[in-house]
């Protein structure tokens, strides 16, 4: 912990250069971030300790197919650039309000994002970080969690987004270097990569459940593309369902979008996304394959690969399996004391990086999309105080949630993260895409599409909680919707149903106004302090966006499709040289991505 505090002092000093007493300074780092901290922060924010342990655990349980989540993310990261040039906004729900008008869609999306942050981001990061500390050091679960949360909250409350991004940049370096050291040592233990497949397929626990095959490693462990019906990660779901989820995460999730919006200009935003995409190619070799090796190395294989419920409960306290301890077990068994401390720093860096990102972005959502609705005349000082208070509240909720998560997540951490996302995110993706590319989409269709998608997603989630995955040796008597419809396939179905309702509802109701679709006239400026102002939005951009009209002070007039005052983008131009550099790197990245997919397919 002391090393972590001392190591992050440079990031704290760098954040002091940004004016944190304005809305733009605190929530968007003054829109003055360079490409390298943006790229590092994008990677670190998407690779929190939850995914660190989850990826390694899923690799130990099923092989390399989970790498498709990372590579798909890398391929879709560039789509987030669509929102950057003309949309002078702070939050994505703000854009949708400007596009559709009214308040209910924006309020719903902000509330949904906060819930997703608590249940799929903060909770999983806290659980995985605490699990890592418990396995490696034997510390008390709650004491170590509270200490890490205290450090995380200190960064976020004191520094705003600038501190978060610079912290992410430093800790990304720690994460990658530490993971490289452990991966090299792990491969040395099995004689190199050529021996991985053979050794993994022989990694069978000594204590099994009679008359079952659940203890056997998957025969397709070294393949990305798996059977669409019997595969644990079917190729159809990984191609279509995962793309829907990736679009939500990289194009509409506040944690990600906020980093790109903090760029000093468009070239830096693009370069940051490309850097993050390059880094997303590494987890297969630095996290997933070491997780597979963890299953191979330990005597009896009754720790990481256990299948007997009693044995699993003894080892890790979860009857469904212990694959989540694959990475920390590897650290404890392989690393000498000095390097073990380095890896603990890596995991704490991942935890702090992810949590700082989530806390900062969640406080932005609450402050700009909910609090401003309740108090439209709130000044900068009040908004900043509320943002910091929300961070404190999130910390408290996270600590309270730990016992619930500890008893419910068990050996399915990564599956839990992706499944919950597939139940709640696809409707947002469908509405966002239609809002951008179909001018006829209106508020009525979008809202009822979101409500229908939410109802279907919650119904599936309720069934999942009521009928959990059966233990090894127990017959699967779950409803067909659970037993035979994979959550990635459900994501495709959910997005399609939502899109159909949005289209039908929009066609059956009046079209949106021209101001909503193509940008309306400005009624003047509304200076509420700080560096916020009402800019004019360019009309010649190929993607239609709403205008930046100020809200009427006459309470008898209906509200226009506007959000809170926006922040003027510093620079939306692109020098030709750097535009070509970004374009060439994007092409190289796609070629590398395609080659890796083909090689491991």
CB 429 within 8 A of CB 507: no
Q: Is residue 58 part of a domain?
A: yes
**DSSP bridge pairs for 33:** 263
CATH of the domain at 258: 1.20.1730.10
Quote the pLDDT of residue 390: 85
**Is 33 strand, coil or helix?**
strand
Nearest CA-CA partner of 65 in 239, 224, 280? 224
Q: What does each C-alpha distance from 555 to 558, 560, 566 come to in angstroms? A: 8, 12, 22
CB neighbour list of residue 167: distance below 8 Å, 6 or more residues apart? 8, 11, 155, 159, 352, 353, 356
Could you tell me the two tokens for 513? 């106004």
As a whole number of angstroms, the longest Cα–Cα distance in the chain is 76
Write out the residue range of the structural domain in which residue 174 sits: 2-533+543-550+558-600
- C-alpha to C-alpha distance for 303 and 341, rounded to whole angstroms: 22
- Report the distance separating Cα 352 and Cα 354, nearest Å: 6
Residues 233, 66 contacting (CB under 8 angstroms): yes
Asked whether residue 377 is assigned to any structural domain, the reply reads yes
- Cα torsion 461, 462, 466, 469 to 10°: value is -10
Record the pTM. 0.80
The whole-number mean pLDDT for each consecutive block of 10 residues of the chain, a chain of 601 residues, reads 37 42 45 79 76 89 92 63 48 76 84 82 79 76 71 60 64 82 93 94 86 85 92 93 89 73 80 88 94 85 82 80 88 83 74 73 80 85 86 76 61 81 93 91 95 95 84 84 92 98 96 70 35 38 33 36 43 76 88 91 87
Task: Answer for the pair 97, 103: CB distance below 8 angstroms, yes or no.
Answer: yes
Q: Which structure tokens are listed for 204?
A: 């069978």
Task: With respect to residue 311, please indicate whether it lies within any of the assigned structural domains.
Answer: yes
Look up residue 259 and give its two tokens.
């980093």
- Count CB-CB contacts under 10 A for residue 490: 21
580 Rama class: left (phi>0) / alpha (psi -120 to 50) / beta: alpha
Identify the pLDDT of residue 294: 94
In a domain, 592, yes or no: yes
Here the tokens at position 387 are 């943002």
130: tokens are: 């605490």
| DSSP-assigned letters across all residues of 471-487 | PTTS-----HHHHTS-H
Residue 329 to residue 315: CA distance in whole angstroms: 11
Please provide the size of the chain in residues: 601
Q: Is 252 domain-assigned?
A: yes
CA 307 from centroid of its chain's CA atoms: 30
Distance CA 469, CA 481 (A): 13
Measured on CA atoms in the order 521, 527, 528, 533, is the torsion positive or negative? Answer: positive
Q: Does residue 538 lie in a domain region?
A: no
What is the Cα–Cα distance from 380 to 594, expressed in whole angstroms? 47
By the 10 Å C-beta count (0-12 exposed, 13-18 middle, 19+ buried), 202 is classed as: exposed
Q: How much is the pLDDT for 544?
A: 34
Is 55 domain-assigned? yes
Bridge partners of 263, per DSSP, are 33
Rounded CA separation 384/364 (Å): 9
Question: Token pair for residue 230?
Answer: 């019997």
**489 lies in some domain:** yes
Report the distance separating Cα 233 and Cα 546, nearest Å: 39
Closest to 27 measured CA to CA, from 155, 160, 152, 159: 160
* 414 vs 373: CA distance, rounded Å: 35
What does the CA dihedral 191, 196, 202, 205 come to, rounded to 10 degrees? 90
Q: How many CB atoms lie within 10 A of CB 447?
A: 19
Cβ-Cβ contacts under 8 Å for 198 (sequence gap 6 or more): none
Q: How many angstroms separate the CA atoms of 244 and 76, rounded?
A: 10
Count of structural domains within the chain: 1
Query: pLDDT at position 82, please?
Result: 47
Question: Vertex 159, ends 158 and 160: CA angle to 5°?
Answer: 115
């Amino acid at each position: 912990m002391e090393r972590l505090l001392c190591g992050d002092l440079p990031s704290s000093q760098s954040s002091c250069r940004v004016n944190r007493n304005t809305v733009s300074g605190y929530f968007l780092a003054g829109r003055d971030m360079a490409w390298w901290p943006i790229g590092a922060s994008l990677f670190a924010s998407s690779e929190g300790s939850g995914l660190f342990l989850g990826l390694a655990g899923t690799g130990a349980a099923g092989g390399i197919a989970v790498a498709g989540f990372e590579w798909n993310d890398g391929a879709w990261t560039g789509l987030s650039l669509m929102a950057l040039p003309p949309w002078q906004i702070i939050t994505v729900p703000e854009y949708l309000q400007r596009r559709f008008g009214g308040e209910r869609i924006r309020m719903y999306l902000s509330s949904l994002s906060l819930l997703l942050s608590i249940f799929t981001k903060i909770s999983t990061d806290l659980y995985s970080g605490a699990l890592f500390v418990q396995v490696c050091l034997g510390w008390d679960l709650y004491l170590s969690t509270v200490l890490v949360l205290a450090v995380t909250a200190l960064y976020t409350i004191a520094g705003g987004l600038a501190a978060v991004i610079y912290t992410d940049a430093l800790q990304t370096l720690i994460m990658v270097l530490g993971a490289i050291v452990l991966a090299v040592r792990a491969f040395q233990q099995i004689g190199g990569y050529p021996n991985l497949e053979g050794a993994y397929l022989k990694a069978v626990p000594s204590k099994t459940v009679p008359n079952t095959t659940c203890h056997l490693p998957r025969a397709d462990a070294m393949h990305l593309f798996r059977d669409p019906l019997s595969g644990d990660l079917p190729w159809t779901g990984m191609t279509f369902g995962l793309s829907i989820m990736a679009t939500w995460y990289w194009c509409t999730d506040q944690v990600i979008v906020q980093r790109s919006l903090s760029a000093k200009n468009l070239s830096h935003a693009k370069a940051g996304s490309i850097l993050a995409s390059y880094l997303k190619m590494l987890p297969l070799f630095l996290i997933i394959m070491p997780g597979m090796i963890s299953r191979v190395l330990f005597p009896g294989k009754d720790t990481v690969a256990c299948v007997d419920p009693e044995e699993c409960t003894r080892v890790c306290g979860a009857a469904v399996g212990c694959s989540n301890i694959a990475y920390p077990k590897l650290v404890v068994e392989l690393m000498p004391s000095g390097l073990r401390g380095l890896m603990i720093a890596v995991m704490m860096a991942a935890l702090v990086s992810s949590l700082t990102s989530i806390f900062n972005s969640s406080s932005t959502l609450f402050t700009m999309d909910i609090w401003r609705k309740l108090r439209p005349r709130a000044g900068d000082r009040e908004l900043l105080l509320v943002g910091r208070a929300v961070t404190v509240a999130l910390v408290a909720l996270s600590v309270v949630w730990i016992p619930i998560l500890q008893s419910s997540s068990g050996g399915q951490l990564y599956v839990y993260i992706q499944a919950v996302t597939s139940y709640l995110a696809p409707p947002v993706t469908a509405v966002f895409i239609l809002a951008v590319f179909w001018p006829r989409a209106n508020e009525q269709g979008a809202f009822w599409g979101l409500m229908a998608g939410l109802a279907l997603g919650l119904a599936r989630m309720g069934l999942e909680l009521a009928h959990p995955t059966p233990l090894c040796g127990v017959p699967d008597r779950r409803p067909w919707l659970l037993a035979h419809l994979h959550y990635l396939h459900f994501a495709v179905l959910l997005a399609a149903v939502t899109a159909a309702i949005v289209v039908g509802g929009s066609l059956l109701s009046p079209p949106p106004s021209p101001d909503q679709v193509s940008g309306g006239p400005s009624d003047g400026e509304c200076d509420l302090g700080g560096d916020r102002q009402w800019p004019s939005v360019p009309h010649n951009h190929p993607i239609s966006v709403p205008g930046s009209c100020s809200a009427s002070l006459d309470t008898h007039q209906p509200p226009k499709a506007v959000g809170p005052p926006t922040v003027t983008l510093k620079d939306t131009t692109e020098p030709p040289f750097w535009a070509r550099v970004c374009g060439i790197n994007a092409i190289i990245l796609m070629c590398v991505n395609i080659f890796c997919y083909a090689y491991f397919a």
